[in-house]
Structure formats: C-alpha cells, structure tokens
Structure 1
C-alpha cells in the first residue's frame, strides 16, 4: 500500500534538490568561521604562535578551557553579561507588552501621535544620543552599575512596535466577549490576551537577550572598572596583548565560552520564532 500523497512526495524532493544543495553549501560557508574558532580553542598557544595552519593537525588540547576555570576573569564578566542581558530582556518584555496592548486595544488621547513618536525611536541611531546619555548617567551616578548598563536597552521601540502589531492581529471579539462577562482590562490583558502572544514574546525576548549579551558600544563607555566589564568588553580588553600573555588559543576558548549561552537560548526558543514570523499564533 502506497503512503498518502500528502506525506510522501518524491517529485517535490527531486524538484527542490538544487535548492537543498545550495542551502547545504551556504550552511557550510556560514559554519566555517565557527569551526575555525573551535579549532583554535583546542590548540596549544605555542603551536598557534608558530602558525595557525596547525589547526588542521593533531595534537589537540582542552588546556585553554581549563585555564578559563582556573585563572581568568571570564566568569565575572560572564555574570555581568548574564545580569544585564536577563534584566534587559525581562523589562523589555514587560514594558513592550503593556505598551503594545495599550496602543492596540485601548482608546486614549493622542494615541496615534504617541505611537508615531515611539516609531521615531527606530530611526534614531544610538550614536546620535550617546553624548547626552553619557552626561545624564554621569549626573545620576549610574556608570559602573548594573542599572546603568541595563537602562538604555530597556527603551526598545522595536519591542513596542512588534507587540502592538501582534495584539492588533488578535480578533477584537475575544476581549469584547470578556468585557460582557465583566472582566477588567487587567484581567483581559493578563489572562486572555497575553498568553496568545507567547510566540511574539519569545521572539522579542531572544532578540533582546542577544542584543544585551553582544552589546559592546555602551558597556565600553559606561563600565570603566574592570570588575564591571561585560563579556564583550572583557574579551576585547584581553586582545591587545594576547600573543605575549594568554595566547590566541585561550582567546578563542573565551569566545566559544561566551557564545554558548546565546546558542542555548536560541535553540530552546527557535520554534517560537518560526511561529511568530509565520503569523501562526493567532487562529
């Protein structure tokens, strides 16, 4: 008995074979730098100082990763990045969800004008306000603090826009029916509307976390004490003299170590990104 046509389509597979080979080829190209970095991280620093072509030859070692555990400040920088990225993510999700619900489902004066002002934030580059921001944070004594590192990332115009559009896609019959049942606006938001936006929140959370984790520009300016460095700034500070002290292999091991949390977050929540982008959350 032949399998159903909707589950087995060899003709479709054959027709798309060039696309599959092309996607595989592009995947190999994109993974090549990652493989090179991992290869550097498992080579001894002495071999790499002779030539980086030794990556393709044994022996290999995990000494660089062991050095991270014993003699590096990476764990302190790792903790700082984790606090900053997690704090930014939580606050962006809370503020963007509330603002998006207000813009999409509530009526209040100057709603459209305020939404346009929020959208202007997408067009203003961070570099344009960096001097004013630096002075403001200096006046309030927020430099070299976790709050000072997190606050700029909390003002996410993209998050407000994303959640507004997602809330608008939900049929209004749902909250109107809840209002007929004497449900408050807060209960409608918390119990009915918010659970339907989980794919969008997961997508926004991943983007925000990755931005906070990989951010280099603002932590470089705000964190002047070494103990307050984030992982990106800390790793960059060790690159100036790596050949004489820690070595290229150790630096590559630090980079791999720094990349693992972002990879784990993406792998766990990637299905929510697909759902949000495809618009399949609202039925």
Structure 2
C-alpha cells in the first residue's frame, strides 16, 4: 500500500511538472511577439528599413516615443478610446445589472420569452445589422460623436445573461428578510443585492472595457472624422506599405503606448476576475 501511494505521489508530481512546463512554454510563445514589438519600438526607423533583425543588437533609442509626445495624434485617439471604453463599460454594467435583477427576481408577463429574445442577440453577428445601424445613427446624426461610438456596445446580451445567473444564485431569503424591514424593491437591489455581485460586475466591466478598447469595426464605420478616431482606427490609419510612410519603429511605439492602459486595468482588477471564476467553479 505504501509503495502504491509513493508511486502515485511521484506520478502526480511528474504530471504537475509537465503541466507547469507546458504552461511556461505557452507563456513564452505568447510573450515573444510582445517583446518583439517593444524591441522594434526602441530602434530607429532607418535601421528597421534595412534589417528588422537589428532589433536584437544595440544601440536602442527612445526617439519613437519622443516623436509620439511632440507630434502625434495618439493622445487624442487615446482620450477617445478612454472615453468610449469607460462610458460603454459603465452603460453595460448599469443596464445589465438592472435587466439581470428584473429577469432573476421580478415576475412579469412574457419574462421567459423576452429573456430568450435577448439571448438571441448572442447569435447575431454585428456585421449582419451594420447597414441598418449605420442608417439609424445617420438619421439621428450620431456619427462622429461619443454617443454614436458607445451606444451600440451597451446592448450586451452576454452581460444580461451573466448578471441574471448571478442574481439567481443569491438566495431569495435575503430579499424576504429585507422586505420584512420595509425595504423597497429598488433599495433591495441597490443596497443589498448589488454589492454581492461585485465580482461578476468587475469581470463584466473588464471584458467590456477590453472589447471596446480593441474594437475596430464600428469605430471605423461611425468615427470617420480624424478627431474622433479611437486608438485602433488611428493606429491603423498610419499603416501604409508596411508602415514605411510613418516608420515601423514609430508604429510599434504607438502600439506599445496604446497597450499601457489595458495593462493597468489588468493589474488593478485581475483579482476580481479570479474571484469570479473561482466562485463560478464552486
């Protein structure tokens, strides 16, 4: 018996090490392109035009980042992305939380049918409705406005589904106890239940923020004025002939600069994602 237990422990240890080695290998594969982009951003454009392999050899320079600071539209694009991503995230959190609470806690005619119709939104690609949406926003004169960039993303069927399931997981006895203290429906939602859904809200908010930050399709269609470009559209507009017009190093410096806010978001909110995933697993 002791021999079997020892061999089993050795087998598990070997399996854990194998998984760890595979994880490290995959992490290296994912990190290499990012390190390569950082390296390209630290080389002069003239060197990269001759040989991109020069990224592996000194000297390196910050001239591309200096050029961004003194003469680039990236700060305007960065501001637009921050406004659009933050506004869209807040809108999704508010609407999804209210809808999730309604579907999970309230009884009203056609609730299940409406919920199914909302979930149908997960199966409809954005490209399928782009013409109708473009015409609608054009009639409302919302193109090249922050509202026009944010409003489509606030329709979030996944957010409604996530918050509905999270509210359903909260025992109804909590609502009943609050009602005994003469709490209104809104007070129960705002003061009692909503704070209990913070992990789910943090996860939804981060995913929405990242989706809005990296979105290219709708900002390209709606934000045709250069002053309303988001980072994705603005950086893409500088890419011509393999970025030879602006310089590959300059382009990579813009990409690195644009990724910093996303990195900050991950650093501050990663624990909420882990908590939400572990809560769902249990």
Alignment match, 1:222: 222
2:281 paired with 1:277:
no
Hey, what does 2:52 align to over in structure 1?
52
User: 1:196 touches 1:281 (CA, 8 Å); kept in 2?
Assistant: no
Q: What is the match of residue 177 of structure 1?
A: 177
1:81-92 paired onto structure 2 within 5 Å: 81-92=81-92
Is the Cα–Cα contact under 8 Å of residues 104 and 167 in structure 2 kept in the other structure? Answer: yes
After TM superposition, give the deviation of residue 10 of structure 1 in Å: 9.7
Rounded to whole Å, the distance in 1 between the matches of 2:120 and 2:181 is 38
Q: Does 1:22 align with 2:22?
A: yes
- Give the TM-score normalised by the residue count of structure 1: 0.93
Distance between the aligned counterparts of 2:95 and 2:209, measured in 1?
A: 15
Partner Cα separation in structure 2 for residue 10 and residue 64 of structure 1? 52
C-alpha contact (below 8 Å) 1:100/1:167 kept by paired residues: yes
Within a 5 Å distance, the mapping from 1:1-283 to structure 2 comes to 15-240=15-240, 243-279=243-279
Distance in 1 (CA, whole Å) between partners of 2:186 and 2:108 is 16
Deviation at residue 245 of structure 1 after TM alignment: 3.4
Compute the RMSD of aligned alpha carbons.
1.7
Asked if structure 2 preserves the Cα contact closer than 8 Å seen for 1:197 and 1:281, the reply is no
Q: Offset of 1:30 from its aligned partner?
A: 0.8
Poorly superposed stretches of 4+, deviation over 4 Å:
9-15, 241-244
> Displacement, 1:15?
4.5
**Which string of whole-angstrom CA distances, capped at 9 and with x for unpartnered residues, describes residues 133-181 of structure 1?**
0000000100000000001001011100000000001111111111111
Say if 1:40 and 1:252, in contact at 8 Å, map to a contact too: yes
Q: Residue 271 of structure 1: CA displacement?
A: 1.1
Question: CA shift at 1:246, angstroms?
Answer: 2.1
Query: 1:143·1:223 contact (CA, 8 Å) conserved in 2?
Result: yes
CA distance in 2, matches of 1:206, 1:222: 23
- Secondary structure of residue in 1 paired with 2:124: coil
Q: Displacement of 1:69 after TM fit?
A: 0.3
Alignment partners' CA distance in 1, 2:13 and 2:63: 45
Secondary structure of the residue aligned to 1:61 is coil
Unaligned runs of 5+ in 1: 1-8
2-side partners of 1:165 and 1:280: how far apart? 10
Are the counterparts in 1 of residues 97 and 163 from structure 2 also a CA contact under 8 Å?
A: yes
Question: 3-state SS of the aligned residue for 1:60?
Answer: coil
**Structure 1 residue 14: Cα displacement:** 5.2
CA positional deviation for 1:281: 10
Bigger Cα displacement from structure 2, 104-113 vs 9-18: 9-18
**Residues in 2 aligned to 1:107 and 1:187: alpha-carbon distance in whole angstroms:** 18
* Alignment: residue pair count: 274
In the alignment, the residues of structure 2 paired with residue 22 and residue 251 of structure 1 have an alpha-carbon distance, to the nearest angstrom, of 32
Deviation at 1:114, TM superposition (A): 0.7
More divergent stretch after superposition (178-187 vs 198-207) = 178-187
Q: Normalised by the size of structure 2, how large is the TM-score? A: 0.93
Q: 1:227 to 1:242 in 2, by over 3 A?
A: farther
| Structure 1 residues 281 and 205, CA gap change in structure 2 (3 angstroms) | farther
